[in-house]
Amino acid sequence: MLTTIPVYILTGYLGAGKTTLLKTLLRQIKEDGRTPAVLMNEFGSESVDTLLLQNSAVPVLDLLEGCVCCTLRGSLSSTLLQMVEQYKPDVIFLETTGVASPVDLVEAFLEPELEERVKLAGIYTLVSAKRFPLDLSPHALDANERTMVQQVQYADALLVSKADLVSEERMESLQKVLTELNGNAPLYRVLKGNVDVSALLATPTALKQQRVQKPKSFTRRQAGQVKPELRERTSFGNLQTMTYELEVPVDKEKFMNFLRSLPPTILRAKGFFKDAEHGMLYEFHYEPGAPMAAIVDVDGNGRAFAVFIGERLDVEGLGRELKGCGG
């Protein structure tokens, strides 16, 4: 008799801390003597987070250049079945792109070819205490904030990250808003990815099948006449993503200043750069007003690249500024 493997979905808006939480979950699952596997979804052409997991001794498969909740649903089924056959995991974690709404994923797991092999065991939504909107009136929410709201509405558990970076007053207001949106989901605070894993994984799933307005369909845009180091751009609704190959080492201070000066239309940036002074490879993450960088130990011959996610990307302008960061 075939074993039905539990699949846990990690969702949450850009920069909420999904991969940091995922590392904690994987560590606990392995300490419990079970074998985890990860399915990583990015709507761009590169997955920074997959590279960050490659030293964790956990099999990772990618779903790139689309959103797993809509355009990649067919790929989701086939990739999950491939993962089950190839790696025979005890547990699967699916980390969605930050702009995914989980509502359509519930329906995907009800497809006959998946029902016999995997089961949806929980939808966990990461909520950034810094970025989640407190005013839920329709006129106040933009398209990205509506996605955040949907992610909360369809969660079995809500995990609030970056609570240490906001006031207690904001946290109290946020908790009220989250309870208003989804009073059935337990609330956890996550600090640097740490959470009570046993309690989280024991949270039952409601297998919600309500219908909500779906996000705009994903379409692919042509890159046009761009410089060779700029990779093809893709878009999802009103968002775009682009990848820039950092072919030479950069001046770290210049690069961090470049991140600090990014316009508000850039919602997320991440990747790797090589420091010209010491030759060290750094991982970097950016969300508005908060760039971070840390030395990392990843394979891939020290490949360096930057991924940008935002609206109305000035591809040529970003390319010129990045070139100016060379050390």
State in words which class domain 220-323 has: alpha beta
Answer yes or no: is pLDDT of 50 > 70.
no
Q: Is residue 69 within 8 Å of 105, Cβ to Cβ?
A: yes
Closest residue by Cα to residue 236 from 99, 104, 61 = 99
Share of the chain above pLDDT 90, in %: 35
Under the banding of pLDDT at 50, 70 and 90, the label for residue 231 is: very low
Rounded to an integer, what distance in angstroms lies between the CA atom of residue 182 and that of residue 257?
39
Provide the CATH topology of domain 5-201.
Rossmann fold (3.40.50)
268: left (phi over 0), alpha (psi -120 to 50) or beta: beta
Ordered DSSP codes for 254-271? HHHHHHHT--TTEEEEEE
Q: Can you tell me the mean pLDDT for 171-179?
A: 96
Please report, for the chain, the start and end positions of each structural domain, with discontinuous segments joined by +: 5-201, 220-323
- Of the pLDDT bands very low, low, confident and very high (cuts 50, 70, 90), residue 10 is very high
- Per-residue model confidence (pLDDT) at position 224: 31
Give the Cα separation of 327 and 325 in Å (integer).
6
220-323 and 5-201 share a CATH fold: no
Average pLDDT over residues 290-319: 79
Q: Where are the beta strands (DSSP E) in the chain?
A: 5-12, 36-41, 60-63, 91-95, 118-128, 157-161, 187-190, 218-219, 234-236, 239-245, 266-274, 281-286, 292-295, 305-310
Answer yes or no: are the C-beta atoms of 58 and 37 closer than 8 Å.
yes
At 111-129, the pLDDT tens digits run: 777 888 898 899 999 999 9
57 φ, ψ (degrees, to nearest 5): 60, 35
